[in-house]
Amino acid sequence: MIKAEVEVEIHRPPEEVFDLWADMRNDKDWHPLARGVVEKTSPGPLGLGTTFQGEYRGMGVVTEETTAYERPHKLGRRGIAKNFRVESTFTFTPTATGGTLLQARGSVEPMGWMKLMEPLMGLMMKKQLASVMNTLKHTVESRVK
């Protein structure tokens, strides 16, 4: 199992950051690994149990389920792709300046032949997660409100 933790401060309120991150249909607009449209595959509003499916560079088709939904403070997800499983938790903490400290904790379990890549994946995972979160930061902060 590969684990990583990353945090980034975003100069926008937690509600705004949470809403963009929680709805994976937005990934096409900002996520550097998203390839095309991410679809919501469950009925009803966003919340606990919401599922999404999309294709991501280097991962293929990924199906994710929301395992924690405490707007705007905490979001959890569990996902599966052809060669790995992933679990992640994101916390959105207000800062004294009106922004958000976004903390991400995740784990990846390679499956099949990907188990051979585990040492390399461990090195790449934290770097990739930091890149994703920094892209989110720049996207949210560049929006005109």
- On whether residue 48 sits in a domain, the answer given is no
Residue scoring higher pLDDT (121 or 11) = 11
- On whether residue 73 sits in a domain, the answer given is yes
Sequential DSSP letters for 65-96:
EEEEEETTTEEEEEEE-SSEEEEEEEEEEE-T
Give the model confidence (pLDDT) of 78-113 as tens digits. Answer: 999 988 899 999 999 999 999 999 999 988 887 777
Residue 81 φ then ψ, to 5°: -130, -175
Q: Which amino acid, one-letter code, is at 123?
A: L
145 pLDDT above the threshold of 70: no
Output the domain CATH number for residue 114: 3.30.530.20
7 pLDDT above the threshold of 80: yes
State the pLDDT at residue 92: 98
- On whether residue 130 sits in a domain, the answer given is yes
- On whether residue 109 sits in a domain, the answer given is yes
130 pLDDT above the threshold of 70: yes
Let me know if 71 is exposed, middle or buried by CB neighbors in 10 A (0-12, 13-18, 19+).
middle
Distance (Å, whole) CA 42 – CA 65: 9
- On whether residue 33 sits in a domain, the answer given is no
Give the chain's domain count.
Answer: 1
Number of neighbours of residue 133 by Cβ within 10 angstroms? 19
- On whether residue 38 sits in a domain, the answer given is no
- On whether residue 74 sits in a domain, the answer given is yes
Q: Domain range holding 109? A: 2-23+66-142
Give the model confidence (pLDDT) of 49-82 as tens digits. Answer: 999 999 998 788 999 999 999 999 999 999 999 8
- On whether residue 14 sits in a domain, the answer given is yes
12 pLDDT above the threshold of 90: yes
State the pLDDT at residue 144: 62
